[in-house]
Structure 1
Amino acid sequence: MLNGHQLLMGELVTTRFFGVRGLAAPVERLLGGVAGSVCAVRTEAPYVVLTYDDGPDPAGTAEVLAALAESRATATFFVLLTRVRRFPGLLAEVAAAGHEIALHGPDHRRLTRLRPDEVARRTRDARAELEDLTGRRVRWFRPPYGAQSFGTWRAVTRCGLVPVLWGPELRDWADLPQAERLAGAVRSARAGSIVLGHDGFAGPGDGVDDGPAPTLDRGDLTRRLLHACAARGLAGRSLGDALEAGEPSRRARFRR
């Protein structure tokens, strides 16, 4: 069992060397059992995990839902409470379509700029509100921007939630050609990969200002992704559905 000092050293190492080949990955795996976030699914089933952040949003959620329905795919939607309160009907549509609802936060503020006790209070209250609205248990949490320290990770897990990060990215927060977004995600997607997508774009109403929203058809991007995966024998599934045929792969990933 690793002690608190070793966990802190892991935080410093993975923060400083996050993404450096040959150094960060072994440390992430070593600490994953005691301070890990789900980063993939270990499975032999031909599933990729589809996840969507920053919704619900009138500009994207319905289009993504339609594309998923066409391929009979399921996905996990990491929602913001700021959006849920404004668009409760869209949240109901996501649930009615059989998709998994998870928490992205009460808003989109970066957790590493908040005290761990504040993170715990906000997360606990947001989870309770989301469960009251959906009538479902909420299991998963994705920190905005993927930013977490060991302190915020521990605050979230003490609220009964499991942090979830990702592998391949659709890069649908930036203005890029659809083909370029798709190529980057499909190139590294394999069975058990957790793909990061968005059905919305966080803004001032969500506590942040990341500039103007990109111009894109989110439904078309989802449709292209599913077709490309199908060509490789892969189907899109929510995290919960994929775990019925596998186990979570955890790594200790911390970054500001």
Structure 2
Amino acid sequence: MLTYDDGPDPGGTEQVLAALADHGATATFFALLSRARRHPQLLAEVVAAGHEIGLHGVDHRRLTGFTPTEVQRRTRDAKAELEDLIGRGIRWFRPPYGKQTFGIWRAINRCGLVSVSWGRDMLDWQDVPQTQRVAAALKGGLPGTIVLAHDGFAGPDDGADDGPPPVFDRGELARLVLEAYGEQGLVGRSLADALIEGKQVRRPWFKH
């Protein structure tokens, strides 16, 4: 299952959308509300292309810096605003950096959202060669694995301070990964599309 974080982002999201379309693949895009507000038309293009939208947060600040009560309020309000922007409901949530305590997980759940982690990481947030990113996306190669990728890179305007973004073609990476999946008889699918025939697996994921 393909998931993309930190968008929508001009210059990245369009490239990923084109690659997905060329390979008949779908993905779940975990959008930052801070970016959705700045690029609502690009968010609409993701939806129009048949992909799924999840919430990645109001911004990219670690939720462990907030109380569970604050997390619940922020997440509830962000969910409502993002749903208004896309004109449909949202089912999934991914905590920034994957950081959540049990109390934060419970706050997310009380907002009617399911917290989603990942099993593979494309390393597209690091300054490493494309070959290394593709290898990371293929590691294990198990059908049904949730793969973490990014169509953008959160910056200071999103509450993040992770240094300069790595410079590479996100569309090219998506194509390389999808081609490699195709050679194994696999197709990229959004969480919702995968669950049409698959089964949701729940495991504890608590990281400070």
TM tier, shorter chain?
A: over 0.9
For the residue of structure 2 that corresponds to 1:77, the secondary structure is strand
1:187 and 2:139 matched? yes
1:74 and 2:26 matched? yes
TM-score, scaled to structure 2: 0.99
Counting only pairs closer than 5 Å after superposition, residues 212-223 of structure 1 correspond to structure 2 as: 212-223=164-175
Match of 1:157 in 2: 109
Counting only pairs closer than 5 Å after superposition, residues 51-130 of structure 1 correspond to structure 2 as: 51-130=3-82
Match of 2:178 in 1: 226
Describe the superposition over 1:78-122 as per-residue Cα deviations: whole angstroms up to 9, x where unpaired: 000000011111001000000000100010000111110000000
Paired letter, 2:125: W
Equivalent-residue separation in structure 2 for 1:162 and 1:116 (angstroms): 15
Counting only pairs closer than 5 Å after superposition, residues 124-139 of structure 1 correspond to structure 2 as: 124-139=76-91
Paired letter, 2:202: R
Match of 1:178 in 2: 130
Equivalent-residue separation in structure 1 for 2:136 and 2:81 (angstroms): 36
- Pick aligned residue for 2:149 from 187, 197, 214: 197
Describe the superposition over 1:110-158 as per-residue Cα deviations: whole angstroms up to 9, x where unpaired: 0111110000000000000011111111000000000000000000000
TM-score, scaled to structure 1: 0.81
- Give 4+ residue runs of structure 1 displaced > 6 Å after superposition: none
Match of 1:166 in 2: 118
Paired letter, 1:66: A
Match of 1:27 in 2: none
Equivalent-residue separation in structure 2 for 1:109 and 1:194 (angstroms): 23
Shift of 1:187: 2.0
Shift of 1:240: 0.2
8 Å Cα contact 1:185/1:195 also seen in 2: yes
Shift of 1:59: 2.2
- Greater strand share, structure number: 1
The structure whose RCO (Cα within 8 Å, separation 6+) is larger is 1
8 Å Cα contact 1:189/1:195 also seen in 2: no
Shift of 1:51: 0.2
Equivalent-residue separation in structure 2 for 1:192 and 1:242 (angstroms): 7
RMSD value, Cα: 0.6
Equivalent-residue separation in structure 2 for 1:53 and 1:189 (angstroms): 21
For the residue of structure 2 that corresponds to 1:248, the secondary structure is coil
Aligned positions, number: 208
Equivalent-residue separation in structure 2 for 1:105 and 1:213 (angstroms): 20
Equivalent-residue separation in structure 1 for 2:14 and 2:61 (angstroms): 25
Match of 2:95 in 1: 143
